Chain A
Amino acid sequence: MRMQTPSPYEQTLGEHLRSQGISRRSFLKFCGLLASSMALAPSMIPKIAEALEQAKRPSVIWLSFQECTGCTESLTRSHSPSLEGLIFDAISLDYHHTLQAASGDAAEHAREEAMKEHYGKYVLVVDGSIPLDNPGYSTIAGISNLDMLKEAAAGAAAIIAVGTCAAYGGLPKADPNPTGAVSVSDIIKDKPIINVPGCPPIPVVITGVIAHFLTFGLPELDSLGRPKAFYGQSIHDRCYRRPFYERGLFAETFDDEGAKAGWCLYKLGCKGPVTYNACATTKWNDGTSFPIESGHGCIGCSEPNFWDFGGFYKALSIPTGASGKNAVYAAAAGIAAGVAIGAMNKKSKAEAASSHQTVTVEELNQESGS
């Protein structure tokens, strides 16, 4: 990534990649992988190549509020030259207080400069939630998170809320929400916001969203503001253990015969049926595996309020048994729960704080009893 380098902003992404010694053949491979990661049909590859070739390198301002830096770690720890690394290198990251060399006044100056120079055009990335109870809970250079967000959002072309904290409040908002944490979309109402939840989000999903924005503009979003390309299907829809679920074959403990045979983890609390994310196909650690492959159920980290779902090892209350009908049932329950929580998110902060244990969440967590 380049930081605080005086433009050439007129350089296109294609030109930039080529100046880094990336041949067109490599570029084609890159676009193929990108299409695959964006869940686009391979027939789109030439279109992606063309659009990326022409796209201008965007100025990106990255603000980190109440967060653990896990989202930045997720992105920067991917091995190179990974797809995510290449995209990340191709943007002009003008401010990121963890990654930039400058500190103090110089850093803040870089942010102000970038905002001024690219007013109305920069992409604002936010990780972390915003505390509303007391502005002093989280500040950068003495500026409260709320003020900094409002100021930076005003000149942004679009906002990408990276991680469940920025997207839905995340861990800081978990009951009893001591700081009065809220999400970006609770505060900013007049800018396009793309939510990229996950705790942390999959690196290639973060950069894939940036790439999508550069090539085709704003991606199509679901009711929770997530790009459908990555969050359109549940973990359960794409889970390789699904055939066991359909046949009613469940591991009952983490070391029984069913667990050893790789049966479905539903009864061990897997939240896959109500969780929308790309883990089952994109996977983690450079495509090695995803939690269910390691024998642990999905904890639902890309859903609002997942910390308060009642217990990671409690089974969902969706009827089990072997039928495709139940699968549809499960997916519908997931959507309904999502909508309910999404609507809840839009309520006032005070209401949100007191409504953590909603009926929906409790319903989800009744013991399956089977």
Chain B
Amino acid sequence: MSLNDIPVRPATVVTGNLRPVLHEIRHALSELMAHGTHGMIDLHSLPFSSQEYAALDEFLGEGEIDLTLNVLGKTRLRESGYAGVWRIEHFDDNDKRIGYFIEIGHVPEILRSQCDDIKEGLAAMTTILAMEEDNNEDANT
């Protein structure tokens, strides 16, 4: 039996946090336009009712991109109907949502390949190519 099977039907709850969040998103979007500032809003640490989550979802709408990353469990990145506004949902290994952010930027931070990873990748690729070439030379002699 899951939590949803228990016959408790909460009446509509309004925490009053939805509108301020919508304005915060709008403000962050205008900051992105004006100064290129990358913005982030943590939705997990705000009391939000399920109705308000749904209303937020409806307000943001769907964009063109819906990506799932495999990083310590899944992470889902969804562009909203407003270009530059992204929903970032972090899940754990059991597909439980453990983090929910709105990011305002050209791409979500986590999507960009990290400089140090690129550096390590380059070193690894160089070593592998050198090893393969060594092996080929050995095979040819």
Q: CB within 8 Å of B: which residues of A?
A: 22-26, 28-30, 32-33, 35-36, 39, 41-43, 45, 79-83, 86, 238-244, 259-263, 280-281, 286-289, 295
Contact A29 B90 (CB under 8 A): yes
A261/B71 in contact, CB under 8 A: no
A242–B96 touching, CB < 8 Å? no
Q: Does B129 count as interface, using CB distance less than 8 angstroms?
A: no
Smallest Cβ distance from B64 to chain A, in angstroms? Answer: 22
> Assuming A29-B72, A39-B45, is B99 touching A261 (CB within 8 A)?
no
B48: A residues at CB distance < 8 A? 240
Give Cα A268 to B48, complex, Å. 23
- Residue of A24, A33, A243, A259 near B117 (CB, 8 A) is A24
Q: Which residue of A lies closest to B43 (CB)?
A: A36
Residue from the list B44, B49, B92, B116 in contact with A240, Cβ < 8 A: B49
Contact B69 A33, beta carbon cutoff 8 Å: no
Shortest CB-to-CB span from A324 to chain B, Å, is: 11
Would you call A261 and B109 a contact (CB within 8 A)? no
A286 touches B47 (CB 8 A): no
CB atoms of B98 and A243 under 8 A apart: no
Tell whether B23 is near chain A: CB-to-CB under 8 Å: no
Interface CB pairs A-B, < 8 A, 16 = A26-B71, A29-B71, A29-B99, A30-B72, A79-B94, A81-B73, A82-B92, A86-B72, A238-B47, A239-B47, A240-B15, A241-B13, A261-B10, A262-B8, A281-B46, A286-B98
Cβ-defined contact, A24 with B41, below 8 A? no
Pick the residue among B42, B45, B96, B114 that contacts A28 (CB under 8 A): B114
> Which parts of B45-83 form the interface with A (CB within 8 Å)?
45-49, 69, 71-73, 75
Residues of B9-58 contacting chain A, CB below 8 A: 9-11, 13-16, 40-42, 44-49
Chain B residues in contact with chain A, CB under 8 A?
A: 3, 7-11, 13-16, 40-42, 44-49, 69, 71-73, 75, 88, 90, 92-94, 96-99, 101, 109-110, 114, 116-117
Q: Which of B47, B97, B101, B109 contacts A281 (CB 8 A)?
A: B47
**Which chain B residue lies CB-closest to A262?**
B10
A324 and B64 CA atoms in complex are apart in Å by: 42
Q: Are B72 and A26 in contact (CB under 8 A)?
A: yes
State the CA gap A80–B96 with chains docked (Å): 12
Cα distance, A39 to B94, chains bound together (Å): 24
Known: A240-B13, A260-B9, A289-B3. Is A25-B98 also a contact (CB below 8 A)?
A: no
Residues on B with C-beta less than 8 A from A42 are 40-42, 101
In whole angstroms, what is the CA distance A25 to B49 when docked? 30
Q: Which residue of A lies closest to B7 (CB)?
A: A260
* Residue from the list B41, B75, B94, B98 in contact with A83, Cβ < 8 A: B98
Q: Are B90 and A33 in contact (CB under 8 A)?
A: yes
The answer on a CB contact under 8 Å between A243 and B14 is: yes
The list of the 5 closest CB pairs from A to B, nearest first, reads: A262-B10, A42-B40, A24-B114, A26-B71, A261-B11
Q: With A25-B117, A29-B110, A288-B96 as given contacts, are A295 and B15 in contact (CB-CB < 8 Å)?
A: no
